[in-house]
Amino acid sequence: MRQLPSVLIVEDEPAIAELIAVNLRHNGFQPTWAMDSASAQRELDAVLPDVILLDWMLPGESGLALARRWRANARTKAVPIIMLTARGDETDRVAGLDAGADDYIVKPFSTKELLARVRAVLRRRAPEQVGGLVAVGALSLDSSTYRVVFNEQTLKLGPTEFKLLHYLMTHAERVHSRSQLLDKVWGDHVFIEERTVDVHVKRLREALGADAGQMIETVRGAGYRLTAHTAQAAPSTVVIPDSIRDPVPRQPWIADRGPQ
Ligand code: CA
């Protein structure tokens, strides 16, 4: 079954939220509504949406502060944000974009425009949702159904791992440096540290399991590669130069004594 793109609406005015939700639902999206910053945070902690529609003026924490916080957080920084705002002047628009919003819509807006902008950020930020089936070896990924299958077994992947795998599979057998992966998978969020890539590669390998996980190779000093030709049971030999060898002979039996 095709998974509908989910949209989190953060809006304190029920009439506007309802209008947006109805239109999204009728156009193949799955909307969720949060009426303040606290419930928006709860929604986001529970599940990451594909897009966030974020009202600027909220009771308590403003939409602008929320956007900044979500952009600074490793888990939420890649979720596209469209700001909804009654403020139309240029400094406000710039402040919204500076806070990390991908786009903004000035109230009152047409629902057609809103839908067009939601689709546009989805296209820009998640191009894999537009594509089709890609296969490398026994591993296949279908971006229209969001499914990853290895040896006829469906695997569960998080959104970032899915994007990362999609990129590696569509550029298989090539080595990609961490900064290239950041650029291609995470896009314009250049302030993400390179070790974030390592964390997601680790998660991706875990999600793929022992066999498919081997397809993602670490190329020392260069980056990562996805390959159909895994080196089965061939652990690389690590040669330790004499200069850094421990001069004291190891006494492994000491470790066996346990706490005393
Ligand atoms: Ca409001």
Q: Which CATH number belongs to the domain containing residue 209 in this structure? A: 1.10.10.10
Q: How far is the CA of 74 from the centre of ligand 1 (A)?
A: 27
Residue 122 Cα, ligand 1 centroid: separation in angstroms? 24
Same domain, yes or no: 95 and 192: no
Residues with CB under 5 A from ligand 1 (ion): 12, 55, 57
Final residue of a structural domain among 68, 99, 125: 125
In this structure, the answer to whether residues 174 and 118 fall within a common structural domain is no
- The answer on 160 and 116 residing in a single domain is no
> Number of structural domains, the chain?
2
CA–CA separation, 63 vs 99, rounded Å? 10
What does the pLDDT read at residue 257? 43
Range of the domain at 29: 6-125
What pLDDT is recorded for position 30?
93
Pairing verdict, β 153-155 and 147-150: antiparallel
Alpha-carbon radius of gyration of the chain: 23
Shared-domain flag, residues 137 and 120:
no
Expressed in angstroms and rounded, the spacing between residue 82 Cα and the centre of ligand 1 is: 14
For residues 108 and 11, membership in a common domain is answered with: yes
38 and 142 inside one domain: no
Q: How many angstroms separate the alpha carbon of residue 63 from the centre of ligand 1?
A: 9
Q: Within a domain: residue 246?
A: no
Which of 50, 37, 70, 44 has the alpha carbon at shortest distance from 5?
A: 50
What single-letter DSSP state applies at residue 215? T
| Cα–Cα nearest to 196, from 78, 94, 27, 93 | 78
CA of 123 to the centre of ligand 1 (A): 27
pLDDT mean by block of 10 residues, the chain; 260 residues? 81 95 93 95 91 93 93 88 83 80 87 89 62 84 87 90 92 89 73 84 95 94 90 43 44 42
Considering the domain architecture, whether residues 141 and 171 belong to the same structural domain is answered as yes
Q: Does residue 101 lie within any of the structural domains?
A: yes
Burial class of residue 42, CB neighbours in 10 A (0-12, 13-18, 19+): exposed
CA pair distance 183, 77, nearest whole angstrom: 14
Helix (H, G, I), strand (E, B) or coil at 6: strand
Q: Cα angle at 60 between 86 and 76, to 5 degrees?
A: 80
Burial of 13 (0-12, 13-18, 19+ CB in 10 A): middle
Rounded to the nearest angstrom, the distance between the alpha carbon of 35 and the centre of ligand 1 is: 9
Does 253 fall in a domain? no
CB 172 within 8 A of CB 215: no
Same domain, 194 and 227: yes
Identify whether residues 32 and 72 lie together within a single domain. Answer: yes
Q: What dihedral angle (degrees, nearest 10) is formed by the CA atoms of 112, 24, 123, 197? A: 150
Q: Give the per-residue pLDDT at 126.
A: 56
What is d(CA 102, CA 121) in angstroms, rounded to the nearest whole number?
7
Residue 138 Cα to ligand 1 midpoint, Å, equals 50
Which pLDDT score is estimated for 210?
92
24 and 94 part of one domain: yes
How far does the centroid of ligand 1 lie from the alpha carbon of residue 33, in Å? 13
Checking 105-111 for CB contacts under 8 A at 24+ apart, the result is 107/16, 109/84, 111/19, 111/20, 111/23
- The answer to whether residue 238 is domain-embedded is no
Q: Are 187 and 91 part of one and the same domain?
A: no
Ligand 1 center–CA 21 separation, angstroms = 15
78 and 168 in a single domain? The answer is no
